[in-house]
A and B are shown apart, each in its own frame.
Chain A
Amino acid sequence: MENKKVKLHYYPGCTLKEKTTNLDDSTRKSMEILGYELIEPENWTCCGAEFPLNEEKIIGLAAPARILRQVKIEGEDKVFTVCSFCFNVLKRTNEALLTDPLKYKRVNAYLKDDIKINHETKDKTTEFPEYEGDVKVYHLLEFIRDEIGYDKIRSMLKRDLSNIKIVPYYGCRLLRPKGNMSIDEPDDPTIFEEFLENIGCTVLDFPFKQECCGSYLSVSMPEAATEASYNILRSAKLNGADAVALSCPLCYYNLDRRQNRIKEQFLEFMGMPVLFFTQLLAWALGVEEKILGLDQHFCSPYSVLGIDDKSEVKI
């Protein structure tokens, strides 16, 4: 077990650094246990969160392409992320650069103006290689399935999670648009179920696993987003789940942090714990409770994991 750690590039994305440190911390700890040393691309920025759907807004591809180019400059050919939005944007950017010569040319023209300043030596770098869309982007679920392997995960489990009845919630960005995102079959995905089964959870099915939670509409059309989120959580409850597992910080915001608003709009709503898949992974791998950041959740997930609830029950 005391092997040298494998270096691996990790792009956390903006939200993980402040609002969902529970996702970031549990990812880092789990990957450390699995034998990886995570490296963030130097000077990374926000990926833009939304892939530009307008064919003429090519500038929106510059930020994700710059992040991926930095991974390439640092001598790596792959990077992983745990945020579904970042995964979607980075992966689609690669596809756009590989399939559209005009976008390739324009994006690389934008990136040519980049200047990198070394803050210690004050040296300026102005020459950069072109980025060709060839850094492979993994979501951690995909990386675990394809590179780490479920066998290894199973052999390293320290806790029994079989009491946790859980439903996987994919949301939209992990699976769609159909065709570009090959993490799994968009209409009948199984990767999340396989992951949860292999870390020992009791996995249940529910019909809302691919439904949208409302995404950014929780800001611009809050009532509509609240209703969409409520439908997902209610369906999970009706199907016998103790908790919902997910990977996206925005789904987490809509499905967990906004449960007070769901309660205001739907009086019969009784709360439903929501957990990141990395929190479950870390817990199964024997990580101590304080790393998981369970106190950040609105709906207390302590009882789901069989921990004495130290927080106030808010709902």
Chain B
Amino acid sequence: MRIKLKRGKKENDFIERVNELSGENVYSCYQCGRCSAGCPFAFEMDILPNQMIRLVQLGQQEELIGTKALFLCASCFTCQSRCPKGINIANVAEAVRSLIDPKGEDHCGPNEIPVDLADELPQQVLVSVYRKFSK
């Protein structure tokens, strides 16, 4: 992946907001890659969890828009339990999701639920998927 880096107010503000919303310090990541090695959904991701953190460290908000990886996090915290710096990447992903599209469309809201599944889905899965992926 080749991106043009610049570092101005916009980039700094983005990084600061991610840190605020997630309660984590993304600067403490030194890119060891244990999160990506352990992530159960890395096989489906377009950018890996450590790359996501790297893009946040560089303030590259635009690069993160539309990445599939943000919506493949099941908040299982495997990355957090393995991170030598204790970064909770699920929190960072949640912060990024809310910043890249603050008032946008639901990624998975009530309209996205297939009708034939409506009867069989447990309440818990609906509550959690709306909490994660709808506004």
Contacts and interface: CB of A to CB of B under 8 A. Distances in A.
B127 interface: yes
A212 B78 contact: yes
A178 B132 contact: no
Contacts of B20: 55-56
A48 B78 contact: no
Interface string B38-82: 001101100000000000000000000000000110111110110
Interface residues of A, number: 46
- Describe A's contact surface by its main secondary structure: loop
B122 A187 contact: no
Contact of A176 (B80, B117, B121): B80
Main secondary structure of the interface of B (DSSP, over half): helix
A54 B125 contact: no
Interface string A25-63: 000000000000000000000101110111110001000
Contact of A250 (B41, B71, B112, B124): B124
A172 B131 contact: no
B71 A220 contact: yes
A152 interface: no
B72 to A, nearest CB: 6
Nearest to A172: B76
Interface string B87-113: 010110011001000000001100011
Given A48-B131, A212-B78, A54 B124 contact: no
Contacts, number: 133
Q: Which of A49, A210, A214 has the most CB of B within 10 A?
A: A49
A186 B123 CA distance: 27
B32 interface: no
Given A56-B21, A219-B117, A50 B122 contact: no
Q: Which of A20, A221, A249 has the most CB of B within 10 A?
A: A221
Contact of B78 (A13, A55, A210): A210
B75 A53 contact: yes
B119 to A, nearest CB: 10
Interface in A85-129: 85
A215 B108 CA distance: 14
A115 B75 CA distance: 34
Interface of A: 13-15, 18-20, 46, 48-50, 52-56, 60, 83, 85, 171-172, 175-179, 186-187, 210-212, 214-221, 224-225, 227-228, 249-250, 253, 257
21 contacts: A15-B123, A15-B124, A18-B123, A19-B122, A20-B122, A46-B127, A49-B124, A49-B131, A50-B75, A50-B131, A50-B132, A54-B21, A176-B78, A176-B80, A177-B88, A219-B113, A219-B117, A220-B112, A225-B74, A249-B124, A253-B122
